[in-house]
Structure 1
Amino acid sequence: MAEQAKKATAAKRGRRTDGGQAKEAIQEAAWRLFAENGFDRTSVRQIALAAHVDPMLVTHYFKTKAGLFAAIMRPPVEPSEAIAFVLAEGPDHAGERMAAFILRTLESPDRRKWIVAMVRAATAEPEIAAVVRERFAETILIPLAEAIGSSDPEYRATLVMSQLIGLAMTRYIAAVEPMASRPADEVAADIAETFQRYLTGPLSAG
């Protein structure tokens, strides 16, 4: 009887009682709210409310808000798709195609919202910064540099990431002019040579 009463009370409040469904609902709500509001402006309580669960369930499954963010974070594009596009015309055109691919991705409103949320969160939370490095470098950038056959692929991956994060911060987060309003194809053309150098150019002696 007590268990039935507990379930009835939860149902009246609109809260989910199934563990698997609750966890999935939390992740879906968090994905949407982090993209819309950013990491800092999204609270555990807001996520729980959107997921129709008790806030304690969020901490039960994910420990912290940063832990939840890290759990749902993934690259905004399929790694294989990105690598295939960049290498479609061979290593000598990799920088040009990478710049075009990145700008095309960032100009997509849905993808841009999530990338901006990731960059902002990474600058605020060391735990998230580590996951960003892992997800982007290990799934896309390092395999890309290895496929090209470049020396020191891990270092090259971090060079590319520095350009990507800087671009996101300058153009989309801080909206620094004239970068913010420059046509995307012009920005891509102007940064292509830098990407090419990072991917295939000579490195200083380490």
Structure 2
Amino acid sequence: MTTARRRGRPKGESGSRDLIVAAAEHEFGEHGYDGATIRAIASRAGVDSALVHHYFGAKADLFAEVIGIPLRPDIDVPAILQGPRDQVGERLVRYVLEAFERPEVRRRGVTVIRVAVGSKVMSQPLIGFLSRELIGRIAGTLGTPDAALRATLAASQMAGLLMTRYVVRLPPIADAPIDELVARVGPTLQRYLFE
């Protein structure tokens, strides 16, 4: 008589998720975002690479988990770029600022910014993630020879705004209403991306 297999997670895998995250921290720290592979992370964790995909999906998902990225610009920004082109700059600024107004996003986001600025070990994987998953995707939609520069300029504008408003808390930017910042910064992003 054969016993039917139970559905769900196989026995003995309760700590696998934590092992995968710890292994990914090491791999991203040693090899950067581009150099780290799911196969190497799985090997370091002592699990099959299919289990890594089971828990986290793609490498971007695992990286977001490891460093605690509170937003998924690699998923959300392409959707913003699909809308009316003349409003992309304002929609990008609004998306980021409204997200950072949520306390859990702000707390984790400020931590990620501080780590990126203060830790050489973790700044390189973060740069790789942003270059490939955000800037590369934006540049891919622009279709211009200088698309990478345009996307990077837009990203630098947003990084400066986040640093000024949420990390340094420099008045009056820290206290300005979101609508005012959208109206002032949105056209700059629009110009960087499309003009």
Question: Common fold, TM-score beyond 0.5?
Answer: yes
Determine which of 79, 82, 85 is the counterpart of 2:77.
Answer: 82
Instruction: State the match for 2:161 in structure 1.
Output: 167
Determine which of 143, 147, 168 is the counterpart of 1:149.
Answer: 143
Matched, 1:193 2:187: yes
Determine which of 128, 136, 153 is the counterpart of 2:122.
Answer: 128
Given that 2:110 and 2:167 are in contact with CA atoms closer than 8 Å, whether structure 1 keeps it comes out as yes
CA distance in 2, matches of 1:156, 1:75: 24
Instruction: State the match for 2:41 in structure 1.
Output: none
Given that 1:172 and 1:180 are in contact with CA atoms closer than 8 Å, whether structure 2 keeps it comes out as yes
CA distance in 2, matches of 1:26, 1:103: 32
Q: What is the CA-CA distance between 1:171 and the residue it aligns to? A: 0.4
Query: How many residues are paired up?
Result: 150
C-alpha spacing 1:65/1:136, structure 2 compared with 1 (3 Å): closer
Q: What is the CA-CA distance between 1:20 and the residue it aligns to? A: 6.2
Amino acid at match of 1:156: R
Instruction: State the match for 1:95 in structure 2.
Output: 89
Given that 2:89 and 2:190 are in contact with CA atoms closer than 8 Å, whether structure 1 keeps it comes out as yes
Instruction: State the match for 2:43 in structure 1.
Output: none
Given that 2:90 and 2:186 are in contact with CA atoms closer than 8 Å, whether structure 1 keeps it comes out as yes
Given that 1:86 and 1:94 are in contact with CA atoms closer than 8 Å, whether structure 2 keeps it comes out as yes
CA distance in 1, matches of 2:20, 2:167: 26
C-alpha spacing 1:99/1:63, structure 2 compared with 1 (3 Å): closer
CA distance in 1, matches of 2:162, 2:29: 21
Q: What is the CA-CA distance between 1:88 and the residue it aligns to? A: 0.8
Q: What is the CA-CA distance between 1:107 and the residue it aligns to? A: 1.6
- What are structure 1's unaligned runs of at least 5 residues? 1-17, 28-57, 202-206
Given that 2:154 and 2:192 are in contact with CA atoms closer than 8 Å, whether structure 1 keeps it comes out as yes
Q: What is the CA-CA distance between 1:127 and the residue it aligns to? A: 2.6
C-alpha spacing 1:148/1:75, structure 2 compared with 1 (3 Å): farther
Determine which of 105, 117, 127 is the counterpart of 2:111.
Answer: 117
CA distance in 2, matches of 1:78, 1:132: 13
Q: What is the CA-CA distance between 1:80 and the residue it aligns to? A: 3.1
Larger radius of gyration: 1
Q: Identity of paired residues, percent?
A: 27
